[in-house]
Chains A and B, each alone.
Chain A
């Protein structure tokens, strides 16, 4: 459609000025936007209040819809399960038989493990859950990978706590509101997870690629020991995630490390568990050191 004719102001000074002022305001808006963007890149925690208000405002809708969505998703799977039921049954029977033997072996290993731990006087308590809830929505129109969880700081959820599903690590808590929390998923480009290879404890870092995979880089650069099928679990270094949570499986080698697929698919996990920070003391100490260093730098700068 062509621009309306009355927008040509002719000789009216007043009309010309108002169009000019509107332009100036538009440019001013862009400049302020740029400033806000610069602030939020320098301080990602800034404006968290506004985002929390947004999440809290839409949470009732998301929660209701996710209940409905969960039900329909399961319905589809239940219908498809009727097809090929017989062959599936036989296959599962075979699998069950093999698992029975493995369970017995695992039980024996567990007993031995406990005995050895007692010998070493190691007393690691298994972290219990802070809360259990549903992921109710995510930033599916943005390149960030942040999901919203249906519980918040009134249930004891705090920033930094790891979030996991039965299959593996989902992410960690980024910001909390009263009844919602924002979860930085493992696949987000800004999320770095300290991992190790399950078979030989080779330490590495997993950085999200934003598409359901992570890039794995070994700490010892120069070597590239990863093979397809390697299981990566959290190493516990950094003190945020407790060790031994499955994270990803290597799918192929890359130039500097490997590309791995994340095990816990947040879209499929109906409920996730929020765990306490593995070594809260260590994390607090690290933050304190960082603050001291910054304060020292500032003092030195003056």
Chain B
């Protein structure tokens, strides 16, 4: 066999790339709070959560059920939320999605978007209530711009993660 072709035949993607890339993208997403944006409102979409949901819905079965916990802990380091809030909420999302997957019903793109939207709304509202339940319950409306922005951003994140995923498994 010609030497020139050997490197192109029977190639396997690097195991490191396959295993590490999704977690790294989620952690980079959590680090979005490092951007020099100083705002009066919570407005920045929770990118860590969006990227996590994109991976979870593009590749059901890739993450184990418990993966929400460690990734949530990392997110808590950067988000400014009380420590443990994302670890709890992301774990709950993962348990719910796993239960949904085990029903074995096929989902299309729009249903994925709906599931992601509901998850985003759940995490953002619970994240706010966790800080101060009584007084924040009365002013949940300040989350509306952030929720809308996050839901509208989700399809773009999915496209991006889809591209990263095909690079991840490319031979």
Q: Which residues of A contact B (CB under 8 A)?
A: 1-4, 6-8, 22-23, 25-30, 32-41, 44, 46-47, 50-51, 53-54, 58-59, 61-62, 65-66, 69-70, 135-147, 187, 189-190, 209-212, 262, 265-267
Contacts and interface: CB of A to CB of B under 8 A. Distances in A.
B34 A137 contact: yes
A30 B91 contact: yes
Q: Which 9 A-B pairs have the closest CB atoms?
A: A139-B80, A36-B84, A29-B69, A33-B88, A26-B65, A212-B40, A66-B36, A58-B34, A33-B87
- Grouping DSSP codes into helix (H, G, I), strand (E, B) and loop, the B interface class, with mixed when no group exceeds half, is helix
Interface string B137-149: 0010011001000
8 contacts: A7-B101, A26-B66, A33-B89, A34-B84, A141-B46, A141-B146, A146-B80, A212-B41
Interface of B: 31-47, 57-58, 60-61, 64-66, 68-70, 72-73, 76-92, 94-95, 98, 101-107, 112, 127-128, 130-132, 135-136, 139, 142-143, 146
Contact of A147 (B38, B44, B47, B98): B38
Contacts of B135: 189
Given A40-B83, A144-B80, A137 B38 contact: yes
B142 A69 contact: no
A3 B102 contact: yes
Contacts of A37: 82-85, 87-88, 130
Nearest to B92: A30
B34 A142 contact: no
A33 B33 contact: no
A143 B42 contact: yes
Nearest to A62: B34
Nearest to A138: B38
Contacts of B112: 1
A265 to B, nearest CB: 7
Contacts of B89: 33
Contacts of A58: 31, 33-34, 78
